[in-house]
Amino acid sequence: MLEENLRRWIEKNRKERFQEGQVLGLRGALLEQMTLRFGRLPANVRRQIEEISSVQELRKLGRKILRAKTLEDMGLGH
């Protein structure tokens, strides 16, 4: 029983760390792409991106940057 609980805890912890790594990587890539596309980002926009903890939301923004002409087109900068 203890061994099984430990195994579950390790697996849960591993999945959480993996997701955190994905979020950090996507967030960094998105900020870099946005900077290249729009120039220096306002602090409030950087904060908005840094507060996102959803892989799906970061991927969605990553797709939006392909068509966006402005930060507002991405739904950012309010």
Domain membership of residue 74 (yes or no) is no
Instruction: Say how far apart CA 62 and CA 20 lie, in whole Å.
Output: 17
Please check whether residue 51 lies inside any domain of the structure.
Answer: yes
Report the pLDDT value the prediction gives residue 78, as an integer from 0 to 100: 63
Count of domains forming the chain = 1
Provide the pLDDT confidence category of residue 28 given band limits of 50, 70 and 90. Answer: very high
- Note whether residue 8 is domain-resident: yes
54 contact partners, CB below 8 Å, separation of at least 6: 23
Name which residue leads in pLDDT, 1 or 65: 65
56 falls within a domain: yes
Which pLDDT band holds residue 74 (cuts at 50, 70, 90)?
very high
In a domain, 59, yes or no: yes
Please report whether residue 73 resides in a domain: no
Tell me if 43 is assigned to some domain: yes
pTM of the model: 0.79
Residue-range definition of the domain harbouring residue 25: 2-68
Dump pLDDT digits (tens) for 33-49.
999 999 999 999 999 99
